[in-house]
Amino acid sequence: MDPSSAPITGMAEALAAVCLVAVAVSLRPLRCIGPAGPAWVWVATWAAMPVLWSLDRLLANPIVPVMSLAPLSVLLAGWPLTVVMMAPVALVAGLAGHLEPFEAVHRLLWLGLAPATLTLLFGAASRRWLPRHLFIYILVRGFFAIIVALALAGTAALAVAPAVWPASGLARGDQWLGTLLAAFGEATISGLVVAALVAFRPHHLATYTDRLYLPR
């Protein structure tokens, strides 16, 4: 892709991001926050996101893989609140990593909004077509759906990345393999977190209820 198309690509990505955030705001995301405020694990996830989104810049190493945490946040806090929180996360990541505006928007869309939305869609599909069982939630929603969501979003990001920031120097195949390995690693971590929360703190998962997933 011609780097001169960066403004057009950035504007298209910004428009997509604004539309997704507007939809999330219309769903009144603050309703899922109880009187005691958001769960500590939600806040910890959101606090870690800016660092992970800009890790390659903070370490001055363009081949360092960045993590999303957006799929995990969707399972924790739901899609609307996750999408709304992505805006301040991207702002902090941009300031911390000294990102150009188009690059910050690019990461907002492909590290945050896209995998979050794909996680929502895959979760809805699993509830529609798969048995509602505890292990279905942990293995499918907490692991496999996250791998696929991150891999698809990462592949799309690589397709438009040359128009947004310079390449890392790796071949496209190596970049895609790195994206896939990073998706597998993040899904493994997220799956462990989800499994632990289902066992000990299920009320921290906005997308989980015993009524739906515990066998009768």
**DSSP class per residue in 63-115:** TSPP---HHHHHHHH-HHHHHHHHHHHHHHHHHHHT--HHHHHHHIIIIIIHH
Q: Which domain holds residue 79?
A: 3-213
Domain tally for the chain?
A: 1
The angle subtended at Cα 66 by Cα 187 and Cα 89, nearest 5°, is 95
Instruction: Give the list of residues 6+ apart from residue 142 with CB closer than 8 angstroms, or none.
Output: 75, 190, 191, 194, 195
| 159-213 per-position pLDDT tens digit | 876 544 445 566 667 788 888 999 999 999 999 999 999 999 999 999 998 888 8
- pLDDT at 164 (0 to 100): 45
More confident: 34 or 87: 87
Size of the chain, expressed as the number of residues it contains: 216
- pLDDT at 68 (0 to 100): 95
3-class secondary-structure state, position 2: coil
